[in-house]
Amino acid sequence: MTDTALRPESKTGTPARPRRSKVERVRSRPAQLALNILQRTWLIVVVFAVWWIATADSTNVFIPSLESILTSLFRDLSNGVIASGAAYSLGNLAAGLLIAVAVGIVGGLILGETKRLREIVDPVIHFFRSVPQAALVPLIIGAFGIGQGPKIYTIAFACMWPVLLNTIDGVLGVEPTIRKFSKVYRIPRGLHFRKVVLPAALPQIVAGVRVALPIGITVMVVSELFAANKGLGFYILNSSATFMVPETWAGALLVGVIGYILSLLFIVLERRILGWYFKSGAK
């Protein structure tokens, strides 16, 4: 593609693949970086500015000014009220996601490779994934108790479905010629799973985990709205119950920020473990 620079979309400065474009490469790196950051952040800055101005003189109890929300947020962040709760919540999220990913991948690999089993289990999977996961939270906590365990299981249960389904899809999508290769060269089953099927399905699996992440954050918060005495969800519920409205908003805002940061970290992780996938141009 020597004529990239001549293509119309390059002239606008927003080519489909900014990193490969010649036009982009001509700019100095710091300038490019600044432009990228600006491109990604301008909207969020505008939203917060509008929010700040629109709520500055708010007299509505339920819509406090952004200033008061941020004040409570930074106060509770610095005095440790939120920090310990956030650590507890994120610990649950991490544990729940880990279980979901492990069970989802192993289950998905087995189901993807065994047609008969898949046909039997398929209706059950689609039933459970359609059940609103947040609605199950009180039931699971009622059944298994109010400790940390049931909260982790709830997150794991909710996050497992996208990972499981995507893993099955990924396994079914393994290139037939590669399957033939594995058969003809008599690759043992264990090695076939680890080095052929798993890497081939990995792009799909990672996409499943990406879907699971926000589900996990939602269920994490919801699980702390019931029978909890700490965590971000508890902070939100507790402040709302005691009419500390700015704190309620602050808690919700913080969950959003955490979600955003986690998704950014996930992109870094994705680039790391799927290096071949992005570089080969498969995506």
Q: How far is the CB of 205 from another protein (least distance, A)?
A: 13
Give the helix/strand (H/E) hosting 80. Answer: none
Q: Which is nearer to another protein, 119 or 175 (CB)?
A: 175
Q: Which is nearer to another protein, 132 or 176 (CB)?
A: 176
Q: At CA 252, angle to CA 247 and CA 256, rounded to 5?
A: 140
d(CA 163, CA 202): 11
Region for 37 from its dihedrals, namely left if φ exceeds 0, alpha if ψ lies in -120 to 50, beta otherwise:
alpha
Token representation of residue 246: 């700015």
Q: How far is the CB of 119 from another protein (least distance, A)?
A: 22
Q: How far is the CB of 178 from another protein (least distance, A)?
A: 6
Q: How far is the CB of 191 from another protein (least distance, A)?
A: 6
Region for 281 from its dihedrals, namely left if φ exceeds 0, alpha if ψ lies in -120 to 50, beta otherwise:
left
Which residue type is seen at 50? V
Q: Which is nearer to another protein, 79 or 177 (CB)?
A: 177
Which residue type is seen at 149? G
Entry field: residues in the chain: 283
Token representation of residue 18: 């900014």
d(CA 225, CA 158): 16
Helix 81-113, helix 245-273: angle, nearest 10 = 40
Q: How far is the CB of 113 from another protein (least distance, A)?
A: 17
Q: How far is the CB of 195 from another protein (least distance, A)?
A: 7
Token representation of residue 95: 């544990």
Q: Which is nearer to another protein, 11 or 115 (CB)?
A: 115
Q: Which is nearer to another protein, 126 or 279 (CB)?
A: 279
d(CA 64, CA 255): 18
Region for 257 from its dihedrals, namely left if φ exceeds 0, alpha if ψ lies in -120 to 50, beta otherwise:
alpha
Q: How far is the CB of 54 from another protein (least distance, A)?
A: 50
Q: Which is nearer to another protein, 135 or 184 (CB)?
A: 184
Q: Which is nearer to another protein, 181 or 243 (CB)?
A: 181
List residues near another protein by CB under 8 A: 175-178, 180-181, 183-188, 191, 195-196, 199-200, 202, 276-277, 279-282
